[in-house]
């Protein structure tokens, strides 16, 4: 899991060219990315704990996920006309990180796909290499979506 967090941080930092942005912009983008990653990780962890039977912890983690989603726009001072980008960015990051986090918490294989949800059934129709490539591209695109903030 540590390796994957390092990759996420590397992608976050490498997606910015520091010289072209005004002072304070990068730190706000990192706050947004951290908030979105936190929301996805807490949600996946909560779902895994719920499936493991630990309902109290699951509810607390899902509440933390919602808190991350609600607080991040205000901490980073996201302009109102940028909220659509915020939601799209969240969707991209969730598409990539949710399954891997859930599988890690349940001690399942890294690229495991379940048998019950339609999402998993449809994803099983594709080659695992194509899924990995698509998630890699989606992660890069998700991290590079710029969100204007008040400076």
Q: Encoding tokens for residue 20?
A: 């072209």
pTM for the model stands at 0.78
How far is residue 22's CA from residue 17's CA, in Å, rounded to a whole number?
Answer: 11
84, 61, 62: which is closest to 73 by C-alpha?
84
How far is residue 147's CA from residue 3's CA, in Å, rounded to a whole number?
Answer: 27
- Mapped onto helix, strand or coil, the DSSP state of residue 54 is coil
1, 143, 116: which is closest to 47 by C-alpha?
116
pLDDT tens digits along 20-69: 656 666 677 888 888 999 999 999 999 999 989 999 999 999 999 999 99
């Amino acid at each position: 899991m540590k390796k994957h967090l390092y990759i996420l941080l590397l992608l976050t930092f490498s997606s910015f060219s520091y010289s072209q942005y005004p002072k304070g912009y990068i730190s706000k983008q990192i706050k947004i990315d951290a908030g979105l990653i936190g929301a996805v990780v807490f949600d996946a962890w909560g779902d895994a704990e719920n499936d493991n039977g630990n309902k109290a912890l699951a509810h607390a983690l899902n509440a933390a996920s919602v808190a991350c989603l609600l607080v991040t726009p205000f901490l980073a001072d996201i302009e109102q006309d940028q909220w659509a980008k915020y939601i799209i960015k969240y969707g991209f990051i969730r598409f990539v990180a949710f399954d891997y986090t859930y599988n890690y918490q349940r001690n399942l294989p890294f690229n495991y796909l379940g048998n019950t949800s339609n999402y998993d059934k449809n994803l099983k129709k594709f080659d695992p290499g194509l899924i990995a490539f698509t998630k890699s591209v989606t992660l890069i695109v998700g991290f590079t979506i710029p969100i204007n903030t008040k400076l």
